Structure 1
């Protein structure tokens, strides 16, 4: 296309982006593009005429076997086997770097996820965000973004007072207060505090309650941090809501918003005029009695993120937080930022678990919720992370314990991991036979010429595009679904191509080329699983 423009055959501006895709029907070539239709109008020519010009230039390129024109001007491009096969060498030599790209180079993103109240164990909804959020952070970094992962600790407010009162009641052998917290974990924490702080039950009631508040919160946060670490989820920052109040950041945020012209006083309270930016009602920052609202802390928290260098603040919230979207975006606009660029709010849908066809609803330890430890105990970290990350965040998920603990093709994580172990098995068998793929100079890419090998190479070539798409859409499930497709292609390759000599057969250049292809496939599967925080086992 560019050469046609430079030669004066097309009088158009070369577009920055051209869509090139793998056709679903492989009879239509290795790749297809609609660039001729894209250029026809600005070039002032019929699409097929543009297609003829571009096709002629493409046919001159080394490695292009043929270019066909279909329909009104679609271009179907087929490469020769040697050109396709070179991808195997590229992937093996790139190793863990293959697929990484600069699609989001330099973009500073603050990614906040989970952020469950530190008043109990992480529940099933939070487990979903732990899997998706951590996977998304890995994907964003792999596409060039500068990412800070953050957990927002709601360690101020009424819920912390209820938590402290619940611990105090348990420690003194009394029932939990109305609207308090129950479950074995409350009893466990209370017991640990009594044993760890001699004389705590002899303190005056108010002093005792404050001790349970401060020390109980420390233990609960430590428990959450333990769960996250064991789940393979990392946070760069554990941000305290209380620090916003203690440092005066909330008051400063209100004054900054007032300077922008969006704060007003009415009925003794201080308000933010969020209705100017799509919220359904204006929001109170400070009540008439002087009490600061959660919304004021939300405003201060957003400004804190911006002050710490975030260009895009991504909030990953639970299914019951739909009402927060417009008010958070309104904060951004009131602060003078672009609510279509500087903030992204993702709402996760519900997760339920099945065992033997029946829904599992409760945890013994937490009393009325399923916790992260329950999920890990039932299906393991790999199955939980993979399954929770393989669906779009706006879809409801059902985790079937029976399926996710089975070694069958119905279990998606097993299906992908098994493909990886099969690839490792080929390498082990080659070592047992005393053969290997040889050096890069020994590799003959033109020998990877069967349909199954071509399919495998085509699928491997899609990985960088899929990874870029996952980062740009903030949806890591694209990586998981790609891995399942790749595993299927590999299983078919395995069933139809001999990778190693049998019996008295000699090791041939075709065998060596196929070993390069298997190693390339193993590399991509391992890279993809790593992005999802899932192990790539060598044996199962």
Structure 2
């Protein structure tokens, strides 16, 4: 019996109690009963607080209502016993056969086990990374690539339609500085004081020069400054952005939409957004500038959209961009931003409210903290290629895609993390990605050994044979996976999947040490061996499903 099936059984019992007059409630008031694993397994397999939820509405006290439900629940096939605890909790024990059926359910569900429809009907636009096209993806962007892609997978597994989006900042002064840096490099001059340095600037400048000459055009460095800068701007940004896309693709972080900021200005979308806000009474003209009245919605000051010189402020593009996302069907626009953007939250949420939307519902902003690399106990401070920053490629080159993604996704995004390159490169149980992947590889080795010794799932499945405490403990952890996925999606907390996988790996390693899937010596194959092969393969499926949600591979051998 799965937790979902137990929840449905409890709901049916409540309905029957209403039908026969034992419970004075309207059926419309019945919640979906929640069942959870008790912290102390001596208290049973599952617990529910449904009696405490409903007692007041039913005009009784929780323990009295719980007492009414005990006999009804105890009569359900597969439930061994039900006890009242504390102020009205119901502790439920399943018999071994009922609990063991979960192994069959998981194996038969395959990749679908853990998916749910809690976010069905939602269209979530998830924007992440969005690094300026002026250099390689840095370590902070790498964290967003791992977190954002993992969240997209988790949200889709929970029924949402998800658009992965990259906002391409190709408008503004940072692009001017990038083009000037390329030109300086091509002319053998010093990097401008406000420019970009590093070997990648030299590489791009040389590529642009080679491409221009190959096309029969003059070397751009020989052109007048304005013409030369424009050549390097156009060609350099395209080359840099192509490199960024390649880096992210190699990191298993692909996008549905690459949105160009320039489009918002060139298409007139900024002006259209301002007109809509003006029609809502949210715009004020003063001091020769156009202001959005964000203080109406809790911002510390109103925000300029069009400056007194007629140029659009940076925030104007944010306003038009949010409106564009909503017009494209997004019910919720989720922004994953770095710690340096914390001050943007107030104005962004106020802008959302100014359009008549609900902050926290139609717009959500997640702030990520710093990532530090450590090797030999000391910080890794700079990239050989980028010169001043550590890049995504540096991290992947040091530990590989799997270890990098897992390390970046396993912690809450609002906490700073130190990534120990020595640890992530090690084959030890202290390395969390190795620990989880090794558990999966062990399940595959057990399955291969079982096949060699004649143990097959085709022999039939007797769930009651999963009767040891270790079997029960492992089944209990497996049963929690769908709820963990649903909760991770609802809270936008991808690290819950990683921490669950580590708990499952630990439970599996303990189970492996205490049980046998293959017979010893002259021992005959029995129902316990076969049942435990089903359980072994159920663990493999859940580990594979969970790793896939994090974009991490599940290796057959290690």
SS at match of 1:403: helix
1:417 deviation in Å? 0.4
2:365 matches 1:345: yes
Query: C-alpha separation between the residues in 2 aligned to 1:127 and 1:319?
Result: 14
* Stretch deviating more after TM superposition (478-487 or 194-203): 194-203
Partner residue in 1 for 2:173:
158
Q: How far, CA to CA, are the matches of 1:279 and 1:435 in structure 2?
A: 66
Retained in 1: the 8 A contact 2:455–2:529?
no
| Correspondence for 1:475 | 493
Map of 1:326 onto structure 2 = 346
Distance in 2 (alpha carbons) for counterparts of 1:209 and 1:536? 48
- Structure 2 SS opposite 1:174: coil
Q: How does 1:133-172 map to 2 (within 5 A)?
A: 133-172=148-187
Task: Indicate the RMSD between aligned Cα atoms, in angstroms.
Answer: 1.0
- Matches of 1:234 and 1:225 in 2, distance apart? 8
Q: For structure 2, which runs of at least 5 residues remain unmatched after alignment?
A: 1-13
User: In 2, distance between residues paired with 1:45 and 1:166?
Assistant: 75
Give 1:203's aligned residue.
223
The equivalent residue for 2:474 is 456
2:60: which partner in 1? 45
Structure 1 residues 133-158: Cα deviation after superposition (integer angstroms, max 9, x where no partner):
00000000000001000000100000
Question: Does 1:87 pair with 2:102?
Answer: yes
In the other structure, the counterpart of 1:422 is: 442
Structure 2 partner of 1:20? 35
Report the alpha carbon displacement of residue 503 of structure 1 after superposing the two structures with TM. Answer: 2.2
Deviation at 1:55, TM superposition (A): 1.0
- Secondary structure of 1:470 counterpart: helix
Is residue 464 of structure 2 the alignment partner of residue 446 of structure 1? Answer: yes
The CA deviation string for residues 421-468 of structure 1, in whole angstroms up to 9 with x for no partner, is 1000001112222432225xx110110011100111111111110000
Select which of 92, 102, 125 maps to 2:117. Answer: 102
SS in 1 for 2:472: helix
1:131 equivalent to 2:146? Answer yes
Distance in 2, matches of 1:98 and 1:463, equals 8
If the length of structure 1 is used for normalisation, what is the TM-score? 0.98
CA-to-partner distance for each residue in 1:323-357, whole Å, 9 max, x for gaps?
Answer: 11111111111112112310000000111111111
Distance in 2 between residues matched to 1:275 and 1:201, nearest whole Å: 49
Which deviates further from its counterpart, 512-521 or 69-78? Answer: 69-78
Q: Is the 8 A contact 1:3 1:57 kept in 2?
A: no
Correspondence for 2:324: 304
Report Cα offsets for 1:155-196 as digits up to 9, x if no partner. 000000000000000011001111100111111110111111
* Aligned equivalent of 1:73: 88
**2:330 pairs with 1:317:** no
**Higher mean C-alpha deviation, range 31-40 or range 218-227:** 31-40
**Runs of 5+ in structure 1 lacking a partner?**
none
| TM-aligned CA deviation for residue 214 of structure 1 | 0.4
The answer to whether the 8 Å contact 1:102/1:144 transfers is yes
- Decide whether the 8 Å contact of 1:348 with 1:393 is kept in 2: yes
Identify which of 238, 261, 265 aligns with 1:245: 265
- Give how far 1:515 is off: 0.3
How many residue pairs get aligned? The number is: 538
